[in-house]
Amino acid sequence: MKIRRHSIKQQDSSKESKSIKERIMDDFHHSSDLHCKSFEVPDIEITILFIADITNRKTIQKLIIAPLLFLAQENEPITPFSLTGKLPVESMEVVKNYDKINTYLMDGFTIIIAKGETEVVYAIETCNFVKRKTNEPVNEPTISGPRDGFVESIQDNKSLIRMHLHSNDLVFERFAVGTEVKTYVELAYVKGKASEELITEARERIQSVKAEYLGDAGLLEQAIGKNKFSAFPELTNTQFPLKVTNALMEGKITILTDGSPTALIAPTTLNMLLQTPDDYYFKWIPASLTRILTYFAAIISFVLPAVYISLISFHHGLIPTDLAISLSKTREGVPFPSVIEAFLMELTIEILREAGIRLPKPIGSTVSIVGAIVIGETAVSAGIVSPMMVMVISFTAICSFTVPNYQLSLALRSIRFFLLFFAAILGIYGILIALFILSTHLVSLRSFNVPYMEPFAPIRFRQLKDSVIRLFFRLGKKDGKLHE
């Protein structure tokens, strides 16, 4: 799908030889879905152009063609300019720039070319794109929160945000991003909550994107992110409107992309990625315990295999005697060193996980059964891996499932291998080196000029009450989470 763009000069020169209609038809290479209908109203010739599959034909017939034919019978003198206000539509724009016609057509507008002594082009909104109903976001299940999730239509997504956030301070700014093909991107913020620097920064980053075509929010995320060499996500990725509105009320900005059900929230901190909306819907004591659990599981999900490896191949003295004896019994006869064994198992789990995602759902369950039986049972009884290793790796995998943000869990997966490598060479000492490198990296990361590790480093005591634990908030206070 390429658009030939015309310069003003071309436009002038070709104006003499071709009519506007023909030029449009040429620009679309006479594509079969570009419909064109011409008819005569007294004194002027009217041509209607629209792309059939993204417009509502009934609307076109009822609100455009029928009134025009009716006008023809009325014998009123019509000039091309007098059409405005004659049609029962909400808005009817006069297009003055030829280049815009193509954009309008692709957005689902109907173009009316009225030709009399002069030629006037009108655009009327009649779009009807394919739409999906909103349903629960698959990646972010919630227990008691609202069930609606973002869809592919940016209008619907904006409507969802407006529905959850009734505020006249909520501002949307529209950008068209892409050098070849334009994709609409909306920047949302709450005026007065989000700082001006943040908004300006976001604007600049969106405008400076130089991509041919942005198909999805994920591409935009990478295009506007600055930490190219980090595994950690710089923007929070969500399909959950309430998460967006909460973030907006906290003074963050949100970027919506047309055609993508994913909203991007910035700035992002590690703390934010480990929170779920459910944390706020329950009372603070169980919510805090859940938080602690999530943090704990997140840490286990990248540290455990490395610690296990270093304990059984370097620091035997650190294991309690009974455990050491039973470990050495279970490892008896395993052909690989524990490091190779761990890499093998990790690889298997990752492959199973990828296979589970890629396969269609009905077959996906087969994979998990085959994986569980073949890898878990048979490998152990065949003596290829030790049962303890299977336990460690699968517990790690389960822990990584508790991480609420998928991007973050991907990052932790990468770090797990990094740690495993260091542990394999140097034991606990290696793990410490790896953790030093990791923490140095995390502390130096910034997302839209906000430190990634906030509120831990730099420490912000006020915000700590909504980090590993979630203390009660006083509703109505400025620092409260809810917007009432």
Distances (CA, A) of 44 to 14, 67, 122, 146, 198: 22, 15, 14, 54, 52
449: left (phi over 0), alpha (psi -120 to 50) or beta: left
- Residue 319 lies near other proteins (rule: CB under 8 A): yes
- Residue 387 lies near other proteins (rule: CB under 8 A): no
Shortest CB 318 distance to other proteins, Å: 8
Applying CB under 8 A, the span of 48-56, 82-90, 202-210, 330-338 interacting with other proteins comes to 330-338
Out of 425, 459, 471, 482, point to the residue binding other proteins (CB under 8 A). Answer: 425
DSSP string, 13-32: HHHHHS-HHHHHHHHTTT-T
Q: Which is nearer to other proteins, 172 or 314 (CB)?
A: 314
Q: Which is nearer to other proteins, 117 or 332 (CB)?
A: 332
Measured between alpha carbons, how far is 50 from 461 in angstroms, rounded to an integer? 59
Measured between alpha carbons, how far is 303 from 317 in angstroms, rounded to an integer? 20
- Residue 305 lies near other proteins (rule: CB under 8 A): no
Distances (CA, A) of 111 to 105, 311, 456: 7, 72, 56
Q: 34 has which bridge partners?
A: 51
Shortest CB 17 distance to other proteins, Å: 60
Q: Which is nearer to other proteins, 263 or 334 (CB)?
A: 334
Q: Which is nearer to other proteins, 319 or 359 (CB)?
A: 319
Measured between alpha carbons, how far is 355 from 69 in angstroms, rounded to an integer? 59
- Residue 445 lies near other proteins (rule: CB under 8 A): no
Cβ-proximal residues to 338 (8 Å cutoff; 6+ apart), any chain: 308, 309, 312, 313, 331, 389
Q: Which two tokens stand for residue 428?
A: 């606990």
Out of 111, 287, 424, 445, point to the residue binding other proteins (CB under 8 A). Answer: 424
Applying CB under 8 A, the span of 198-206, 312-320, 407-415, 457-465 interacting with other proteins comes to 312-320
- Residue 199 lies near other proteins (rule: CB under 8 A): no
End-to-end CA distance of the chain: 46
Shortest CB 97 distance to other proteins, Å: 49
- Residue 329 lies near other proteins (rule: CB under 8 A): yes
Out of 321, 335, 458, 461, point to the residue binding other proteins (CB under 8 A). Answer: 321
Q: Given the DSSP bridges, would you call strands 236-238 and 263-266 parallel, antiparallel or unpaired?
A: antiparallel
Out of 3, 171, 384, 426, point to the residue binding other proteins (CB under 8 A). Answer: 426
**x/- site string to other proteins, residues 331 to 360, per CB under 8 A?**
xx-x--xxx---------------------
Q: Which two tokens stand for residue 112?
A: 């009316």
Q: Which is nearer to other proteins, 50 or 422 (CB)?
A: 422
Out of 314, 395, 418, 473, point to the residue binding other proteins (CB under 8 A). Answer: 314
Q: Which is nearer to other proteins, 199 or 426 (CB)?
A: 426
Measured between alpha carbons, how far is 145 from 179 in angstroms, rounded to an integer? 39
Smallest CA-to-CA distance from 442 within 253, 302, 240 is with 302
Q: Are 176 and 182 in contact (CB under 8 A)?
A: yes
Q: Which two tokens stand for residue 377?
A: 């049972």
Out of 129, 172, 429, 473, point to the residue binding other proteins (CB under 8 A). Answer: 429
Applying CB under 8 A, the span of 29-37, 70-78, 137-145, 419-427 interacting with other proteins comes to 419-427
Task: Give the binding-site size for other proteins (rule: CB under 8 A).
Answer: 27
Shortest CB 408 distance to other proteins, Å: 25
- Residue 312 lies near other proteins (rule: CB under 8 A): yes
Torsion angle in degrees (nearest 10) through CA of 434, 437, 439, 441: -140
Measured between alpha carbons, how far is 125 from 141 in angstroms, rounded to an integer? 36
Q: Which two tokens stand for residue 178?
A: 């892409």
Out of 4, 131, 316, 460, point to the residue binding other proteins (CB under 8 A). Answer: 316
| Residues near other proteins (CB under 8 A) | 312-314, 316-317, 319, 321, 324-329, 331-332, 334, 337-339, 424-427, 429-430, 433, 437
